[in-house]
Amino acid sequence: MIRVVPIQKEHIKGFYKALDQVAREGKYLLLLKAPSMKNVKNFVLSNIKNKWTQFVALDGGKVIGWCDIIPYEHPTVSHTGKLGMGLLASYRGKGIGTQLMKACLKHSQSRRLEAVYLDVYGSNKPAIRLYRKLGFKIDGIRKKGRKHKGRYEDLVLMSKSLKPSRGKMA
């Protein structure tokens, strides 16, 4: 039974491990390993404090995936946010990514975020299909935007506008 919940302090270690594991696959994320535990902890605590969007997927108590949408820092762009996500390999293709993204988009909408952006590698067809399914459009391609071990890859830049949700802010 998988649960998708807003991240809490007790998930920091599990999130760190999941992020590190997916990053070390070297195929999907900008990161090739997790940042330091201290940085990850500060990132999560700041998301909790600011009520920014970050959800984790849990199998029992274990963090097996995450999705976050963090507003850009500068005031002229902070009405928009950047999405990042990942699942441990054995949990992919079971609809958990869809659940995580839906929860995050709803939360960001209730926080009055106006648009979500993301970058995805051109070879990452499952991710691109998921993003299209949830209403993301391709804004452009950054040719050879990635270089790893001497191999180039295109970066696909995608976005989705969020309609302002009625009711109270989350």
- Contacts with ligand COA, residue ranges (CB under 6 A): 22, 28-29, 85-87, 92-98, 120, 124-127, 129-130, 133
**Shortest distance (Å) from residue 75 CB to ligand COA:** 26
* 45 vs 100 by CB, closer to ligand COA: 100
Which residues neighbour 19 within 8 Å (Cβ) at sequence distance 6 or greater?
31, 34, 40, 66, 86
For residues 135 and 113, what is the distance between their CA atoms, to the nearest angstrom?
Answer: 16
Q: Which DSSP category does 165 fall into?
A: P
Burial of 16 per CB tally in 10 Å (0-12, 13-18, 19+): buried
* 12 vs 156 by CB, closer to ligand COA: 156
* 114 vs 119 by CB, closer to ligand COA: 119
Which residues neighbour 4 within 8 Å (Cβ) at sequence distance 6 or greater?
55, 56, 57, 58, 96, 99, 100, 103
* 49 vs 147 by CB, closer to ligand COA: 147
* 22 vs 162 by CB, closer to ligand COA: 22
**Shortest distance (Å) from residue 168 CB to ligand COA:** 29
